[in-house]
Structure formats: C-alpha cells, structure tokens
Amino acid sequence: KHQAPLQDLQRAIAYTRSHAGEWKIDPNRIGVMGFSAGAHLAAMAS
C-alpha cells in the first residue's frame, strides 16, 4: 500500500549514488532525513 513515495526515495538515492563521482561525494555515506511522513520514509529507506 502506498509504495510510490518509498520508490521515489529509493530512486533519488540511486540517482545520487550514480552521480556521486561527478558531485565528489562518497556514495556509501548518503544520509536522508525528514519530518513527519518524511521521517517515516527515511526510516523505511534505511
């Protein structure tokens, strides 16, 4: 039920990891945070 928001977050993380070299970030040290429903999504993604 309501998989679209979680899938959006998973795609955003995958996109960030795929561009990590270009953006000069460590793809293994990406954090997510949120408030209210966003916090719930962040917890589900971890």
One DSSP character per residue, 1-46 reads: ---HHHHHHHHHHHHHHHTHHHHT--TT------STHHHHHHHHH-
For residue 14, how many other CB atoms are within 10 A of its CB? 11
pLDDT, one tens digit per residue, over 2-46 is 789 999 999 999 999 999 999 999 999 999 999 999 999 999 988
Residue 39 structural domain: 4-45
Residues in the chain: 46
Reading the block at residue 29, the tokens are 């040290």
Query: pTM value?
Result: 0.83
Number of domains present in the structure of the chain: 1
Q: What Å distances lie between residue 27 and 7, 22, 31, CA to CA?
A: 19, 11, 10
